[in-house]
Protein backbone atom coordinates (compact mmCIF):
# COMPACT_ATOMS: atom_id res chain seq x y z
CA UNK A 1 0.00 0.00 0.00
CA UNK A 2 1.35 3.44 -0.88
CA UNK A 3 1.65 6.26 1.64
CA UNK A 4 -0.30 9.44 1.06
CA UNK A 5 1.52 12.70 1.76
CA UNK A 6 1.90 16.24 0.50
CA UNK A 7 4.98 17.00 -1.61
CA UNK A 8 7.01 19.70 0.15
CA UNK A 9 10.33 19.60 -1.69
CA UNK A 10 11.70 22.82 -3.19
CA UNK A 11 8.58 24.99 -3.13
CA UNK A 12 7.14 24.51 0.36
CA UNK A 13 3.79 22.90 0.97
CA UNK A 14 1.75 22.14 -2.11
CA UNK A 15 -1.96 22.56 -1.58
CA UNK A 16 -4.48 21.20 -4.03
CA UNK A 17 -2.03 19.46 -6.37
CA UNK A 18 -3.70 18.38 -9.57
CA UNK A 19 -3.53 15.13 -11.41
CA UNK A 20 -1.29 15.28 -14.44
CA UNK A 21 -0.45 11.61 -14.69
CA UNK A 22 -1.94 8.24 -13.90
CA UNK A 23 -2.15 8.56 -10.08
CA UNK A 24 -3.74 10.82 -7.49
CA UNK A 25 -1.68 13.91 -6.67
CA UNK A 26 0.35 13.52 -3.50
CA UNK A 27 0.48 9.71 -3.56
CA UNK A 28 4.05 8.73 -2.82
CA UNK A 29 5.96 5.49 -2.75
CA UNK A 30 8.69 6.81 -0.46
CA UNK A 31 8.55 6.84 3.33
CA UNK A 32 9.98 10.38 3.11
CA UNK A 33 7.12 12.75 2.22
CA UNK A 34 9.54 15.17 0.53
CA UNK A 35 10.74 12.62 -2.04
CA UNK A 36 8.27 11.26 -4.56
CA UNK A 37 8.71 7.74 -5.86
CA UNK A 38 9.51 7.82 -9.55
CA UNK A 39 7.06 5.05 -10.42
CA UNK A 40 5.81 6.49 -13.72
CA UNK A 41 7.46 7.38 -17.01
CA UNK A 42 7.53 10.40 -19.29
CA UNK A 43 8.97 10.94 -22.77
CA UNK A 44 10.45 14.18 -24.06
CA UNK A 45 8.11 15.99 -26.50
CA UNK A 46 11.19 18.09 -27.32
CA UNK A 47 14.66 18.15 -25.79
CA UNK A 48 13.21 18.86 -22.33
CA UNK A 49 15.40 20.62 -19.78
CA UNK A 50 15.90 19.15 -16.32
CA UNK A 51 16.18 21.81 -13.60
CA UNK A 52 17.33 21.85 -9.95
CA UNK A 53 13.84 22.88 -8.77
CA UNK A 54 10.48 23.56 -10.46
CA UNK A 55 11.73 26.89 -11.78
CA UNK A 56 13.62 27.45 -15.06
CA UNK A 57 15.88 30.00 -13.34
CA UNK A 58 17.04 27.43 -10.75
CA UNK A 59 19.75 26.05 -13.01
CA UNK A 60 19.63 23.45 -15.75
CA UNK A 61 21.29 20.14 -14.81
CA UNK A 62 20.44 18.03 -17.85
CA UNK A 63 18.08 17.21 -20.70
CA UNK A 64 15.58 14.50 -21.57
CA UNK A 65 16.13 14.13 -25.33
CA UNK A 66 13.09 14.18 -27.62
CA UNK A 67 11.35 10.77 -27.69
CA UNK A 68 13.57 9.35 -24.90
CA UNK A 69 11.98 7.95 -21.74
CA UNK A 70 12.72 9.04 -18.15
CA UNK A 71 11.49 7.84 -14.77
CA UNK A 72 9.03 10.32 -13.27
CA UNK A 73 6.83 11.00 -10.28
CA UNK A 74 3.22 10.12 -11.06
CA UNK A 75 2.01 13.67 -10.41
CA UNK A 76 2.98 17.19 -11.27
CA UNK A 77 3.31 20.08 -8.85
CA UNK A 78 2.79 23.81 -9.10
CA UNK A 79 6.06 25.69 -9.58
CA UNK A 80 7.23 28.83 -11.36
CA UNK A 81 5.47 29.75 -14.61
CA UNK A 82 7.13 29.08 -17.97
CA UNK A 83 6.32 29.47 -21.66
CA UNK A 84 8.42 26.57 -22.99
CA UNK A 85 7.27 24.04 -25.56
CA UNK A 86 4.88 26.26 -27.50
CA UNK A 87 1.92 25.61 -25.25
CA UNK A 88 1.37 29.06 -23.73
CA UNK A 89 2.09 29.81 -20.08
CA UNK A 90 1.98 26.97 -17.55
CA UNK A 91 3.31 26.30 -14.04
CA UNK A 92 3.17 22.49 -13.72
CA UNK A 93 6.43 20.56 -13.20
CA UNK A 94 7.26 16.84 -12.98
CA UNK A 95 10.04 15.35 -10.88
CA UNK A 96 12.22 13.20 -13.20
CA UNK A 97 15.34 11.07 -13.40
CA UNK A 98 17.00 10.58 -16.78
CA UNK A 99 20.03 8.29 -16.69
CA UNK A 100 20.92 9.37 -13.16
CA UNK A 101 20.23 13.09 -13.63
CA UNK A 102 17.50 14.04 -11.17
CA UNK A 103 15.47 17.22 -11.17
CA UNK A 104 12.32 18.83 -12.55
CA UNK A 105 10.96 19.06 -16.11
CA UNK A 106 8.25 21.42 -17.35
CA UNK A 107 5.16 19.21 -17.68
CA UNK A 108 4.23 20.62 -21.13
CA UNK A 109 7.63 19.52 -22.47
CA UNK A 110 7.05 15.84 -21.63
CA UNK A 111 4.25 13.36 -22.21
CA UNK A 112 3.13 10.53 -19.96
CA UNK A 113 4.02 7.03 -21.14
CA UNK A 114 1.73 4.08 -20.39
CA UNK A 115 3.33 1.52 -18.06
Render pLDDT for 50-100 as a digit per residue (tens, 0 to 9): 999 999 999 999 999 999 999 999 999 999 999 988 868 999 999 999 999
Structural domain range at position 81: 3-113
Task: For residue range 31-45, list pLDDT tens digits in order.
Answer: 334 446 789 999 999
pLDDT for 36: 60
Average pLDDT over residues 3-15: 32
Q: Are 29 and 2 in contact (CB under 8 A)?
A: yes
Model pTM?
0.69
Give 63's contacts (C-beta < 8 A, 6+ positions apart): 44, 47, 48, 49, 50, 98
How many independent structural domains does the chain possess? 1
SS (H, E, C) 3-53: EECCCCCCCCCCCCCCCCCCCCCCEECCCCCCCCCCCEEEEECCCEEEECC
Q: What percent of the chain has pLDDT over 70?
A: 68
Average pLDDT, the chain: 76
Amino acid sequence: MKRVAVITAFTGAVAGGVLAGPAVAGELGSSDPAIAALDCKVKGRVNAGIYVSPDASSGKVGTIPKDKTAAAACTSIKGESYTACGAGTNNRWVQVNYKGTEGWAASRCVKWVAP
